[in-house]
Amino acid sequence: MVVAMKINRLSPETLTEAKNARRVFLMVAELHKLGYESLRVAPFLSPSGCYWRCVILPASMTSPSHGARLADDVVYESLSKYSSADEDNYFGWRNMKPKTPLILATRFIVEFPQFAEKGHHTDPTYARWFATMLELTAPIGVVSAFGNWEPPVDRMLTEFCEDGVVVPLPPGWHGRG
């Protein structure tokens, strides 16, 4: 009930932005169901704090100490990324209808085969964390690893969630899968 009230207080533009961002997470949930459990999200806020951004990448490209941050040797420009500034043009895919999470997941596999291949492994620890994060942030919430300020060291930042929602850090990658 409280969440519904909070959603009703969002402007139509903000509600659309939240739903678009959430759809990226739901796409990753579909990828996990398809056997791509080693694909991870690296979400963050733009330096201005105005836009939510999310990179989808194989676990092997994430930090061993923080499962939602890039490894030191990863080049950001080479990654598949979404920005809320792109609205519902996920990963630059314009004129794509409908944009269900499953259709987006299927398109992701086709458009980013190098990441899909590297992420086509089981990663039950991360998949459990991700499913729990989705549950905690339902119905439209998202998390971020950092913004343009000192991030918490023990949890993710949350947006569009009920007050008091705490999402722990995702597990780091340690060479499996």
- Model pLDDT for residues 9-35, shown as the tens digit of each residue: 889 999 999 999 999 999 999 999 999
Report residue 2's pLDDT band, with 50, 70 and 90 as the boundaries: very low
Length of the chain: 177
Average pLDDT, the chain: 91
The whole-number pLDDT of residue 98 equals: 81
Residue matched to tokens 């080479």: 78
Give the domain ranges of the chain: 2-168
What pLDDT does residue 5 have? 39
* Whether residue 95 has pLDDT greater than 90: no
Per-residue model confidence as pLDDT tens digits over 50-80: 999 999 999 999 999 999 999 999 999 999 9
Q: What is the pLDDT of residues 108-143, one digit of tens each?
A: 999 999 999 999 999 999 999 999 999 999 999 999
Q: Which residues pair with 144 in a beta bridge?
A: 157
CB neighbour list of residue 50: distance below 8 Å, 6 or more residues apart: 85
* Cα 1–chain centre separation: 25
pLDDT of residue 151: 82
pLDDT of residue 147: 86
Reduced to 3 states (helix: H, G, I; strand: E, B; else coil), residue 155 is strand
Tokens standing for residue 85:
């500034």
Position 1 scores a pLDDT of 32
Nearest to 27 by CA among 114, 97, 90: 90
